[in-house]
């Protein structure tokens, strides 16, 4: 296996709040890794540190064996694309032109035919072709979320950082978008994805590996069935649950009625 991302001793604080503590993690090539944890565990903070939206206090981030701290946003955006949960927009733009922004790191000023084709293909891949010339700011939350995912795909990075990519999507689209992300990571020679997600069952079904983030550290890392144990879930989320193997394929976590008192 080839290592694509290597994070060593990452620390980040918001003032007195020490969010990430000496965090270490690796992402391999063609790997889909999910990060789960409670609200405020530092999932988004971790992703933003990796994309240098936030500056870590300490620690090394290396990608393809290169130190990312010397990268400017332009060069970084050719390697990594961070997908926020949602974006606010005061100005109206066609969906096509929003997705076209994914090509911005690769072009000088002029759009080449290849760039247009990449955008068109991406829109078709995500079944957004009917939205291509609708106004981005007039779409629903879920539609907008799919569009900014499309923008990241058209950017063609080696590593995707998704922050809650399914949070605004309906049941069917949650599965569809994860399938498509999965396919992208599996098929393309050098792509990987790191996904912050709350839905444990979606994470369990689609991830190669799950990281359980707890109090700024990684409590457990491994295949879904290794990480999603009754004990781990009780410790991190403070809920009792049952873990089942579904169809012999993937595990499901079923939360029981009774909520255990935390601390």
Partner 1 sequence: MDSISEKHIENGKTQFLMVLILGIITIFLSLFAMGQGSSSNLDMMATLKIILGLDSATELQSDIIWKLRFPRILMAIIGGAALAVAGALMQGCLGNPLVSPLTLGVASGAALGAAFAIVLGVSVLPYSHLAIVANAFLFSLIVVAIIIQLGNLRSISAESYILVGIAITFISGAIVSTMQYFATDAQLSQLAHWSFGSLSRPDLIQVQLISIAVLGLMPTAMKWSWDLNALSVGGDEFAISTGVNPAETRRNILILSALMTSIVIAFTGLIGFVGLAAPHMSRLIIGNDYRKLIPCSAIFGAFLMVFADTLGRTLFAPIVIPVGIMLSIIGGPFFMYLLLSNRGFRR
Residue ranges binding partner 1 (CB under 8 A): 48, 51-53, 72-78, 80-84, 87-94, 96-98, 101-102, 104-105, 107, 109, 113, 116-117, 119-121, 123-124, 129, 132-133, 135-136, 138, 148, 151-152, 155
Minimum CB separation of residue 38 from partner 1 in Å reads 22
DSSP annotation string for 47-68: HHHHTTSS--SEEEEEETTEEG
Minimum CB separation of residue 7 from partner 1 in Å reads 18
Q: Which is nearer to partner 1, 16 or 109 (CB)?
A: 109
Q: Which is nearer to partner 1, 101 or 243 (CB)?
A: 101
Strands 58-63 and 241-246, bridge-based pairing: unpaired
SS3 call for 128: coil
Q: Which is nearer to partner 1, 118 or 205 (CB)?
A: 118
Minimum CB separation of residue 115 from partner 1 in Å reads 9
Contacts for 136-143 with beta carbons within 8 Å, 24 or more apart?
A: 136/89, 136/92, 136/93, 136/94, 136/95, 136/98, 137/89, 137/91, 137/92, 137/93, 138/92, 139/95, 140/168, 141/86, 141/168, 142/168, 142/169, 142/170, 142/173
Q: Which is nearer to partner 1, 33 or 150 (CB)?
A: 150
- Assess contact for 63 and 158: CB atoms under 8 A: yes
Q: How far out from the chain centre does Cα 48 lie? A: 11
H/E segment holding residue 189: none
Q: Which is nearer to partner 1, 21 or 134 (CB)?
A: 134
Minimum CB separation of residue 80 from partner 1 in Å reads 8
Minimum CB separation of residue 239 from partner 1 in Å reads 31
Provide the token pair at 262: 């935390």
Q: Which is nearer to partner 1, 60 or 78 (CB)?
A: 78
DSSP state of 30: T
Q: Report how far residue 120's alpha carbon sits from residue 106's, in angstroms, rounded to the nearest whole number.
A: 16
Minimum CB separation of residue 56 from partner 1 in Å reads 15
Minimum CB separation of residue 198 from partner 1 in Å reads 19
Q: 3-state SS string over 113-125?
A: HHHHHHHHHHHHH
Burial class (CB in 10 A: 0-12, 13-18, 19+), 193: buried
Q: Which is nearer to partner 1, 3 or 104 (CB)?
A: 104
């Amino acid at each position: 296996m080839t290592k694509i991302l290597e994070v060593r001793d990452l620390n980040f604080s918001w003032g007195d709040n020490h969010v990430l503590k000496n965090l270490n993690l690796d992402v391999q090539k063609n790997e889909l890794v999910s990060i789960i944890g409670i609200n405020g565990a530092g999932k988004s903070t971790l992703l933003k540190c990796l994309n240098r939206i936030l500056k870590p206090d300490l620690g090394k981030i290396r990608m393809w064996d290169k130190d990312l701290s010397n990268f400017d946003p332009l060069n970084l955006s050719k390697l990594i694309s961070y997908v926020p949960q949602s974006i606010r927009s005061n100005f109206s733009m066609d969906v096509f032109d929003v997705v076209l922004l994914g090509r911005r790191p690769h072009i000088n000023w002029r759009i080449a035919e290849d760039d247009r084709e990449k955008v068109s293909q991406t829109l078709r891949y995500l079944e957004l072709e009917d939205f291509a010339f609708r106004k981005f700011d007039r779409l629903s939350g879920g539609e907008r979320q799919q569009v900014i995912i499309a923008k990241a795909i058209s950017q063609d990075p080696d590593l995707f950082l998704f922050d809650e990519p399914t949070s605004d999507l309906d049941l069917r689209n949650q599965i569809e978008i994860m399938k498509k992300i999965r396919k992208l990571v599996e098929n393309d020679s050098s792509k990987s994805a790191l996904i912050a997600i709350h839905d444990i069952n979606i994470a369990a079904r689609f991830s190669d590996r799950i990281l359980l983030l707890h109090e700024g550290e990684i409590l457990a890392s491994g295949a879904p069935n290794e990480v999603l144990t009754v004990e781990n879930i009780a410790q991190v989320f403070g809920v009792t649950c049952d873990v089942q193997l579904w169809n012999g394929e993937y595990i499901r976590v079923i939360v029981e009625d009774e909520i255990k008192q935390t601390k």
